[in-house]
Amino acid sequence: MKKHVVLYKKLSAPLMARLHEQANVTLIESLDEGGLAQLRDALPSAQGLLGASLRLDAKLLDLAPHLEAVASVSVGVDNYDIDYLTQRGILLSNTPDVLTETTADTGFALILATARRLVELTNMVRAGNWNQNIGPLHFGSDVHGKTLGIIGMGRIGEALAQRGHFGFGMPVIYHSHSPKPLVEQRFGAQYRSLPQLLEQADFVCLTLPLTAETQGLIGAKEFALMGPKTIFINISRGKVVDEAALIDALQQRTIRAAGLDVFEREPLNHDSPLLHLNNVVATPHIGSATHETREAMARCAVDNLLTALAGERPKNLVNEAAWKH
Ligand code: DGY
């Protein structure tokens, strides 16, 4: 008998067709009030769940007593109560690898946009305020040859290091829970303690996951270690940063600029002070958001889900202990 899969993310026609072949599918088109009510109605008979951007906590999971597998269309799994899923033997999978290069591209786009003040100066041209040749007031800062500091040297950190080292001749320093000899060999990267990195990097880039240990990792004390020329880039999760401390550092110009793809609360509040700062480039969590990469992520999630529902180990299993359950 076909299993019941609840999707809370729309997939492309070929992926929908593949799922329909192998499962009874309920599609929740959006996560507004009505969609959430539909989701709650569908959960009691669900064996598989697939989607992203929804906090799946114990309360919601308790509505799904037959759930066997959850496939997240994301690499980050901070939206899931992993302990509870594991305790219930529900397999959680994610979509690493396929989004690495695209997310690193986003990081580099923010590095270039902040350093060269692309958004601010584009806005000036659009507003009809380009009235004479620009001077030092509008100059940016170099990217090539500057020190790239990466906090969290996982797959995305490595892809950022590759771009900085080979593309822009940047010395790379990094901080992660353990040194990475291979990364040091390939990109000449050097390990630093967190305070050393914050003091020495021209670009401080966050690429680490949100966990209990990383929440609030960068706050007032850490911004105080950066200098007035430091540019801060966040492509990981907003909650790794104390946003009020970041806003303060940007307003006081104790750091030069910030390129932010993620925020404490998403979508970003319309009254956030970040929206009024010229030295901020803010994007709406576009890390992996290209047509090609989002399709590859969705395909990966479908593979993971169907494998898990067939009783096999999905390739990108997050909670190994649930498999042994
Ligand atoms: C991810 O895959 O985790 C991206 O940040 C999208 O949420």
What is the C-alpha to C-alpha distance for residues 288 and 265, in angstroms, rounded to an integer?
18
Averaged over 44-70, what is the pLDDT? Answer: 97
Q: Determine which one of 117, 163, 285, 299 is catalytic.
A: 285
Please, what is the average pLDDT of the chain? Answer: 97
Q: What tokens does 252 get?
A: 């006081």
**Predicted local distance difference test score (pLDDT) of residue 258:** 98
120 as an active site residue: the answer is no
Residues 98-139 have pLDDT tens digits of 999 999 999 999 999 999 999 999 999 999 999 999 999 999
**Predicted local distance difference test score (pLDDT) of residue 218:** 98
Q: 156: Cβ below 6 Å to ligand 1? A: no
CB 242 within 8 A of CB 271: no
- CA 76–ligand 1 middle distance (angstroms): 5
Residues 17-48 have pLDDT tens digits of 999 999 999 999 999 999 999 999 999 999 99
The helix (run of H) or strand (run of E) holding residue 286 is none
Q: Which of 74, 105, 106 to mutate to test the pocket of ligand 1 (most atoms within 8 A of CB)?
A: 74
Residue 140: exposed, middle, or buried by beta-carbon count in 10 A (0-12, 13-18, 19+)? middle
Domains 3-96+291-323 and 100-282 share a fold: yes
**Predicted local distance difference test score (pLDDT) of residue 75:** 97
Domain residue spans of the chain: 3-96+291-323, 100-282
Averaged over 9-22, what is the pLDDT? Answer: 97
What is the pTM for the complete model shown? 0.96
Residues 78-89 have pLDDT tens digits of 999 999 999 999
- In three-state secondary structure terms, 127 is coil
What is the C-alpha to C-alpha distance for residues 53 and 268, in angstroms, rounded to an integer?
14
- CA 74–ligand 1 middle distance (angstroms): 4
Q: Is residue 325's pLDDT more than 90?
A: no
Q: 316: Cβ below 6 Å to ligand 1? A: no
Q: Is residue 51's pLDDT more than 90?
A: yes
- Among the CATH numbers 1.20.1090.10, 3.40.50.720, 3.90.79.10, 3.90.1150.10, which is that of 3-96+291-323? 3.40.50.720
**Predicted local distance difference test score (pLDDT) of residue 55:** 96
What is the C-alpha to C-alpha distance for residues 140 and 173, in angstroms, rounded to an integer?
22
- CA 188–ligand 1 middle distance (angstroms): 28
Q: 96: Cβ below 6 Å to ligand 1? A: no
Report the percentage of the chain scoring pLDDT > 90: 99
Q: Is residue 7's pLDDT more than 90?
A: yes
Q: 302: Cβ below 6 Å to ligand 1? A: no
Report the percentage of the chain scoring pLDDT > 70: 100
Please, which contacts does 262-265 make with residues 24 or more away whose CB atoms are closer than 8 Å?
262/234, 262/235, 262/236, 262/237, 262/238, 262/287, 263/238, 264/238, 264/239, 265/238
Q: What are phi and psi of 313, to 5 degrees?
A: -80, 120
Please state, as a whole number, how many other Cβ atoms lie within 10 Å of the Cβ of residue 308.
25
**Predicted local distance difference test score (pLDDT) of residue 182:** 97
Architecture of domain 100-282: 3-Layer(aba) Sandwich (3.40)
Averaged over 11-18, what is the pLDDT? Answer: 97
Confidence band of 207 (pLDDT split at 50, 70, 90): very high
Averaged over 152-173, what is the pLDDT? Answer: 98
Residues facing 260 on adjacent strands: 234, 282
